[in-house]
Structure 1
Amino acid sequence: MNKTDRLLAIVLELQVRQVVRAEDLAARFETSVRTIYRDIQALSEAGVPITGTTGTGYSLMDGYFLPPISFTIEEAVTLLVGTDFIEQRFDDDYRDRAQSARRKIEVTLSDRVRSETSRIRKSLRLLDPGKQAGLSNERENFNKIRRAISDGRKIRFHYSKKMTDSTESRHSERTAAPYGLVLVEGSWMLIAQCDLRQDIRHFRLSRMAELIELEERFERPAQFDLGKYSPLDDRHLRVCLRFDYDIADKVKESNYPYIEEVKEHQDGLDVVLRVRRPDELLQWVLGWGANVIVLEPESFRDRIREEARKILERY
C-alpha cells in the first residue's frame, strides 16, 4: 500500500472507530508506529481535524466527514454483489434498502466503471442462496426478530424440534432475549438467551411459529460478542463411512459441515464425521445409495439396514 492509499485508509478507520491507537494502525497497515506518527502529521497539515490523547489514541473532531470517494471496479462489484445477496436473503425492509443502496452506489460511478461493473456482475450469479420454498416464514420471523433486537425487547414464540429425550415435548413455547442472527448453511439461526433454559440457545427461524415481540426489555451483556461467539461443541458421536472411489470428488465437493477427516485410497474414500446423534446423518448417508457403507459404529450400520429394509418393503 502506497502512502496516499494509506492516508485515505487511516481517515476511513478514524471515521468508523471513535478512537484508534497508533499501534493498532501500524498493525492494521503493516508498518511502523513511527510511520503512523508521520502520516497523522501529514493529515493534520492537510486540514484533517485529528486530535490525539497520550495513552488513548487518535480521533476525528465531531462533525468531520470524508467527502464521497470514487470506487474501483473491484470495489463496486463487491458492494453491488453484496446488495444482490441482501436482496435475496434478508427481509422486505432490507430488500428495499439494498435496492436503494445499489442505486446510490451506481450514481457515484463513472460511466466507464459503471459499464465495466455491469459487465462483470452479469458474469456472476448467486445460485440458490436459500431454499426459496421455505423463505416466507423465515423472512417474516427474520423481520420481527430484527425489529426486536433493534428495540431491545424480548420475543415469544412456539418452537418445534425433534428431541432425543422422550420425556420432553417436541413443541414448546419460548421467551427469549434475541442477541443476534446468523446465516448457517443457507438457514437463519437466532442466538438468544432463553428464559426456559436460562442459557444461550440457538433457534432455526424456519421452526418458529406465532412469534411476537414483547414489551419486556433486555440488555445484551457487554461481554457478549456475536462475531467471536462460538457455541460449545457437543458433537461426541464419531461416525466412519467409506465411499466408492468413483464418487470421491462429489463427496468432497459437498462440503458437508459434519466432516472432520477425509482420506482417499485405492478402496475408496474414508470419511470421519462427528455428530450429536445418528439421525443428523441418516438422510445424507441414504442419499448416496449403494455408493457408501458405514464402517462404524455398528448401531448406525443397523439403523441403515433397517431403513433399507423399510424402503424395500415400500417397493
Structure 2
Amino acid sequence: MNKTDRLLAIVLELQRSKVLRAEDLAAKFETSVRTIYRDIQALSEAGVSVIGAPGQGYSIMEGYFLPPVSFTVEEAVTLLIGTDFIEQWFDAHYGSKSRASRGKIEAILPEPIRGEAERIRSSFRLLTTAEEAERLQEKDYLNVIRQAILEERKIRFRYSKRIAEADGNRHSVRTAAPYGLVLVRGSWILIAWCELREELRHFRLSRMTELIELEAKFTLPADFRLDAYKPPDDRNVRVRVWVEPDLADKVREANSFYTETIEEQPEGLLMTFRVRQPEELLQWVLGWGSGVVVLEPESFRSRVRDELKKVLKRY
C-alpha cells in the first residue's frame, strides 16, 4: 500500500473506530509506529482535523466529513453487484434503497469508469431458485422481523417443521424474541429465543405463516453478538451411503447440507452424512432411486425399505 492509499485508509479507520492508538494503526497497515506518526502529521497539514489525546490515541474531530472519493472499476463493480444482491434478497424497504444507491453510485462515476463497470457487471447474473410466491412472502416477513429486531419487540407465528416432533406434531405456534437474521444457502434463518422451547432456536422464514409483531418487548442479552454466534452442533448421527458411478457427478454437485465426507472409490462414491435424525435424509435418498444405497445405520436402511414398500403398493 502506497502512502496516499494509506493516508485515506487511516482517515476511514478513524471515522469508523472513533479512537485508535498509533500502535493499532501500525498493526492494521503493517508499518511502523514512526511511520504512523508521520502520516498523522501529513494529514494534519493537509487540513484533516485529527485530534491526538495522550494515552488514548487519535480521533477525527466531530463534524469532519471525508470529501468524495473515487472508485476503481473493480470497486465500482463490487458496489453495483452489492446493490443487485440487496434488491434480490432483502425486503422491499432495502430493495428501494439499493436502487437509489445504485443510481447515486452510477451518477458520480466518470464516464470511462461507468462504461467499463457496466460492461463487467453485465457478465455477472444473480439467480434465485426459490419459487417467486414464496420469495415474496419471505421478503414481507423479513421486513416485519427486521423491524421487530430494531424495536426489540417479540413476534408470534405458526411454524411448520419438515419432520414431526416426538409428539407427532409438525405444526406449532411460537412466540419468540428475535435476535438476528442469517442468510444460509439462499434461505433466511431467524435466530430467536423461543418461549415454547425455552431456548435459542433457528426458524426458516419459508416455514412461517401468520407472522405478527407483538407489543411485548424483550431485551437482547448483553453477551449475545450475532457475528460471533455459533449454533450448537447437535448432528450426532452418521449415515453412510454408496453412490453408483453414473450418478457421482450429479450427487456431488447437489452438495447436501448434511455432507461430511466424500470418498472416491473405483466403484463409485462413499459418502458420510451427519444428521440429527436419519429421516432428514429420507427424501434425498429416495430422490436418487436405486443409484444411492444406504449402508448404515441398519435402522435407516429399514426405514428406506418400508418407504419403498409403500411406494410399490401405490403403483
User: TM class by shorter-chain length?
Assistant: over 0.9
CA offset at residue 204 of structure 1?
A: 1.1
Q: Which amino acid aligns with 2:183?
A: L
Matched residue of 2:312: which SS? helix
TM-score (norm 1): 0.93
The number of residues matched between the two structures is: 315
Partners of 1:51 and 1:58 within 8 A in 2? yes
CA offset at residue 227 of structure 1?
A: 0.9
TM-score (norm 2): 0.93
Structure 1's consecutive aligned runs of 4 or more residues displaced over 6 angstroms after TM superposition are none
1:40-189 alignment, distance < 5 Å: 40-128=40-128, 130-162=130-162, 164-167=164-167, 169-189=169-189
What's the CA shift string for 1:166-199, capped at 9, x where partnerless?
3364332222221111111211111112223332
CA offset at residue 162 of structure 1?
A: 4.4
Partners of 1:89 and 1:129 within 8 A in 2? no
Matched, 1:254 2:257: no
Partners of 1:83 and 1:101 within 8 A in 2? yes
Partners of 1:158 and 1:172 within 8 A in 2? yes
Aligned-partner Cα distance in 1 for 2:40–2:100: 35
Aligned-partner Cα distance in 1 for 2:111–2:228: 41
> Using a 3 Å threshold, how does the CA distance of structure 1 residues 26 and 286 change in structure 2: closer, same or farther?
farther
> Using a 3 Å threshold, how does the CA distance of structure 1 residues 117 and 243 change in structure 2: closer, same or farther?
same
Partners of 1:22 and 1:36 within 8 A in 2? yes
Structure 2 unpaired stretches of 5+: none
Partners of 2:164 and 2:170 within 8 A in 1? no
2:20 aligned residue: 20
Matched residue of 2:233: which SS? coil
> Using a 3 Å threshold, how does the CA distance of structure 1 residues 3 and 251 change in structure 2: closer, same or farther?
farther
Aligned-partner Cα distance in 2 for 1:53–1:196: 51
Aligned-partner Cα distance in 2 for 1:198–1:163: 20
Partners of 1:51 and 1:59 within 8 A in 2? yes
What is the root-mean-square deviation of aligned Cα atoms in Å? 1.9
Aligned-partner Cα distance in 2 for 1:311–1:95: 45
CA offset at residue 106 of structure 1?
A: 0.5
Aligned-partner Cα distance in 2 for 1:208–1:16: 37
1:33-44 alignment, distance < 5 Å: 33-44=33-44
Matched, 1:240 2:240: yes
1:297-308 alignment, distance < 5 Å: 297-308=297-308
Matched residue of 1:12: which SS? helix
Q: Tell me the percent identity.
A: 62
Aligned-partner Cα distance in 2 for 1:8–1:144: 38
> Using a 3 Å threshold, how does the CA distance of structure 1 residues 48 and 285 change in structure 2: closer, same or farther?
same
Q: Which amino acid aligns with 1:109?
A: L
Partners of 2:163 and 2:280 within 8 A in 1? no
2:278 aligned residue: 278
CA offset at residue 118 of structure 1?
A: 1.0
Partners of 2:26 and 2:33 within 8 A in 1? yes
Q: Which amino acid aligns with 1:146?
A: R
CA offset at residue 277 of structure 1?
A: 0.9
Aligned-partner Cα distance in 2 for 1:136–1:77: 27
Partners of 1:131 and 1:186 within 8 A in 2? no
